[in-house]
Structure 1
Amino acid sequence: MDEQSLETIELEMAVLYRRITTATASGKYGNLDRSAYLLLHRIGAHGAVGVKSLAEEYQLDISTVSRQTAALEQKGYVRRIPDPADRRAFFLEITELGAKEYAVYKQGRLTRIRELLADWAEDETETFAALLQKFNHALLSSNS
Structure 2
Amino acid sequence: MDKLALETIELELAILIRRVTSISTQKKIGKLDRSAYLLLHQITSHGSSGVKALADEFHLDISTVSRQAAALEQKGYVERIPNPMDGRAYALQITELGLREFKAYKQARFERISELLKEWPEEERKIFGELLKKFNRTFV
- TM-score by length of structure 2 reads 0.96
RMSD after superposition:
1.0
User: Which sections of structure 1, spanning at least 5 residues, go unmatched?
Assistant: none
Percentage identity across aligned positions? 61
Distance 1:85 1:136 in 2: 35
| CA distance, structure 1, for counterparts of residue 28 and residue 67 of structure 2 | 24
Q: In structure 2, what is the Cα distance between the partners aligned to 1:136 and 1:125?
A: 16
In 2, the alpha carbon distance for the partners of 1:35 and 1:88 equals: 25
Query: CA offset at residue 85 of structure 1?
Result: 2.8
Distance in 2 (CA, whole Å) between partners of 1:89 and 1:27 is 38
Q: What are structure 2's unaligned runs of at least 5 residues?
A: none
Cα separation, partners in 2 of 1:50 and 1:27, compared to 1, 3 Å: farther
Shift of 1:64: 0.5
Matching residue of 2:135: 135
Distance 1:57 1:136 in 2: 12
Q: How many residues align?
A: 140
Letter in 2 for 1:41: H
Offset of 1:19 from its aligned partner? 1.2
- Specify the alignment match of 1:40 in structure 2: 40
Q: Name the residue aligned to 2:68.
A: 68
Q: Deviations over 1:33-65 (max 9, x none)?
A: 110000000011111000011111111111100
Q: Is the 8 A contact 1:25 1:33 kept in 2?
A: no
Q: Distance in 2 between matches of 1:25 and 1:66?
A: 24
